[in-house]
């Protein structure tokens, strides 16, 4: 990595596109990028705003009866229901398990809410339930409560699943964007973009075929190894909607720091690279379901990489950048040719319904 990063004008990190002006929901409001952020800022935070929600973490950290819990939820609307490397059921378990893990919690219990479209073959539901149970067993969690609703044909799309999860956080542990500070090292757990590209390949009408499979996997085990090692882990974030780029921008904004990453360090499968080039996608923004970043104190970075590499989901772990003092909220990528690129939140929608 180069050491000299230009001081950017803080104004330049602001969104040049007006963030008001839409009066109806667009697909991009669900894409995890700028419009999702706007919905949070303009609708949900003003309505529900409270310190717990304002922390903008992957889940809420709660004190319940003297015990520290993480609590998180996600709805899954992925299309198609089955894809190379997983299905909506394994995704619904791993996604919420991973959100809990990113809070520094040991995931314990999940709920599952199903919204079924009239006409869904019951055999499909059975396969997905079996997949959820297998994923839950692998991740070490139990599905303990649930609900089923049915909507008329044409008012849903086969099957949507919501999962919410509860995890236990060891006392004294603080995994929060607010703990990120200049000097921290950014560790990435492996190659990026496989989930999003595998979903595209699985959809009808795409002009390419790959042998790629989604990276969908539970991340609780590598994260627990990191935490139990005693390393000073400041923040964790999985790279779902909006990809690596959006995750880093969110952390930089929440922690009011700047970040620098080195493009040449970021691992890409050749098929992901090829598909992204062909389709005009930026792999930095493509969703993953089994990848995350860890921000650690500089003296702990090498050890963090070694610990992650002992897990299948962290086999390709490596250092990709570091945290700087500013400008607050900026993420800069040092490119192969020595140029610098300011990374922004995903604008618009790269791949709809990838989770």
Q: Looking up tokens 């692998």, which residue turns up?
A: 138
- 202 lies in the site for a second copy, by CB under 8 A: no
- 228 lies in the site for a second copy, by CB under 8 A: no
Task: Compute the least distance from the CB of residue 310 to a second copy, in Å.
Answer: 27
Residue from 5, 8, 84, 129 that binds a second copy (CB under 8 A)?
Answer: 129
- 143 lies in the site for a second copy, by CB under 8 A: yes
Residue from 6, 11, 18, 23 that binds a second copy (CB under 8 A)?
Answer: 23
CB 308 within 8 A of CB 233: no
Residue from 3, 6, 122, 207 that binds a second copy (CB under 8 A)?
Answer: 122
- 162 lies in the site for a second copy, by CB under 8 A: yes
Looking only at residues 293 through 352 of this chain, which bind a second copy when binding is defined by CB under 8 A?
A: 352
CB 296 within 8 A of CB 231: yes
* Residue window 44-63: x/- pattern of binding to a second copy, with contact defined by CB under 8 A: x--xx-x-xx-----xx-x-
| Between 131 and 189, CB nearer to a second copy | 131
CB 71 within 8 A of CB 193: no
Task: Compute the least distance from the CB of residue 132 to a second copy, in Å.
Answer: 7
From the list 345, 348, 283, the residue with the least C-alpha distance to 320 is 283
- 83 lies in the site for a second copy, by CB under 8 A: no
Alpha carbons 253 and 214: distance in angstroms, whole number: 29
- 17 lies in the site for a second copy, by CB under 8 A: no
Within 8 A by CB and 6+ apart from 124, the residues are 81, 158, 159
Scanning 192-324, the segments in alpha helix (DSSP H) are 194-202, 220-228, 243-255, 270-279, 301-309
Q: Looking up tokens 């098929």, which residue turns up?
A: 271
- 199 lies in the site for a second copy, by CB under 8 A: no
Tokens of 8: 């950017």
């Amino acid at each position: 990595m180069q050491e000299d990063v230009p001081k950017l004008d803080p104004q330049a990190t602001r969104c040049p596109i007006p963030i008001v002006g839409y009066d109806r929901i667009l697909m991009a409001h669900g894409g995890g990028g700028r419009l999702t952020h706007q919905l949070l800022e303009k609708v949900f935070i003003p309505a529900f705003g409270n310190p717990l929600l304002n922390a903008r973490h992957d889940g809420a950290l709660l004190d319940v009866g003297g015990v520290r819990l993480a609590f998180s939820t996600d709805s899954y609307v992925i299309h198609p229901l089955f894809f190379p490397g997983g299905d909506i059921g394994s995704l619904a378990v791993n996604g919420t398990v991973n959100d809990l893990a990113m809070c520094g919690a040991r995931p314990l219990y999940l709920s599952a809410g199903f919204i079924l479209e009239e006409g869904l073959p019951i055999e499909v539901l059975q396969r997905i339930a079996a997949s959820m149970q297998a994923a839950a067993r692998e991740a070490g969690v139990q599905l303990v409560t649930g609900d089923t609703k049915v909507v008329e044909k044409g008012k849903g799309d086969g099957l949507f699943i919501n999962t919410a999860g509860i995890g236990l956080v060891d006392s004294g542990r603080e995994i929060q964007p607010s703990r990120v500070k200049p000097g921290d090292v950014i560790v990435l757990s492996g190659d990026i973009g496989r989930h999003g590209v595998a979903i595209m390949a699985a959809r009808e009408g795409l002009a390419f075929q790959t042998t790629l499979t989604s990276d969908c996997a539970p991340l609780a085990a590598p994260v627990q190894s990191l935490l139990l090692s005693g390393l000073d882990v400041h923040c964790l974030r999985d790279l779902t909607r909006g990809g690596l780029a959006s995750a880093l921008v969110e952390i930089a904004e929440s922690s009011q720091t700047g970040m620098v990453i080195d493009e040449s360090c970021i691992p890409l499968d050749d098929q992901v690279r090829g598909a992204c080039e062909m389709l005009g996608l930026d792999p930095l923004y493509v969703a993953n379901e089994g990848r995350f970043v860890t921000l650690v104190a500089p003296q702990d970075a090498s050890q963090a990489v070694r610990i992650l590499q002992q897990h299948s989901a962290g086999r390709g772990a490596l250092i990709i950048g570091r945290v700087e003092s500013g400008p607050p909220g900026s993420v800069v990528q040092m490119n192969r040719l020595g140029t610098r690129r300011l990374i922004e939140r995903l604008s618009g929608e790269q791949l709809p319904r990838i989770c």
